Amino acid sequence: MNQSVLPDRIKWNDRGLIPAIAQDGDTGEVLMLAWMNREALEKTLATRDVTYYSRSRQCLWTKGETSGNCQRLVSIFLDCDMDTVLLKVKQTGPACHTGKRTCFFNEIEV
């Protein structure tokens, strides 16, 4: 799919958002889940610097702009329902604000 038609193909939720899963492009490790609006997606596609939408602050934020822990877009995929994006990224430093490599470090025993 051509990236220029991507925003129009997405099934945005009622708030104009889509969940975005960041995955290490080399290892396949899931790094984090965040949200994107159309502007964040378009900025990410234009610059390759991954930009998300903060639901709490209601503004865009480019990953690593203050911490230096940047994500560079390698490739992007839509799921089968067209309502979630998978971002394969080149991660610089930890992905989580806690300093952990991934946000998924709280294992639940099953």
Q: What is the arithmetic mean of pLDDT over 25-30?
A: 98
CB 15 within 8 A of CB 40: no
Q: Which long-range contacts (CB under 8 A, 24 or more apart) does 96-103 make?
A: 96/31, 96/32, 97/67, 101/29, 101/31, 102/29, 102/30, 102/31, 102/32, 103/31, 103/32, 103/33
- pTM higher than 0.85, yes or no? yes
Tokens 């129009």 locate to 8
**Domains, in order of start, for the chain:** 6-91 (3.10.20.810)
pLDDT in tens, 5-22: 677 889 999 999 999 999
Structure tokens at 4: 């220029």
